[in-house]
Amino acid sequence: MSLSEILAEVLNKRGMNTTGTDQRGALQGLSLRYAEAPTLLGQNAEDGNSAVHLAARAILADADLHEALAPLMVVKLAEGLVALDLANRIKALEAAL
């Protein structure tokens, strides 16, 4: 099962009628928004060109929240990335290949 299908299943259980195709399109759109970022986390906490900063600003704009909340959103997104343990997951994938 793909990520978009899993997301659609979760949303459908919460009463939001959607399909995996709908979610795939939405996820691809988000990927394009952040693809131009040169780094994931940036050179420092104020690096506004990182994918985390771009994502934070996009989330705040989409939720119609003030951009002053961007530093808090960046921290929360970075905490989420840490929780994902990407480095160890990538190592495991490399070992499997």
pLDDT tens per residue across span 19-43: 888 878 877 777 777 778 888 888 8
In the chain, the largest separation of any two C-alpha atoms, in whole Å, equals 44
pTM for this model (two decimals): 0.62
* Helices then strands, each counted (H, E), the chain: 5, 0
User: Which parts of the chain register pLDDT below 70?
Assistant: 1
And the tokens for 79? 């905490």
| Helix (H) or strand (E) run with residue 34 in it | helix 20-34
Residue 43 confidence (pLDDT): 85
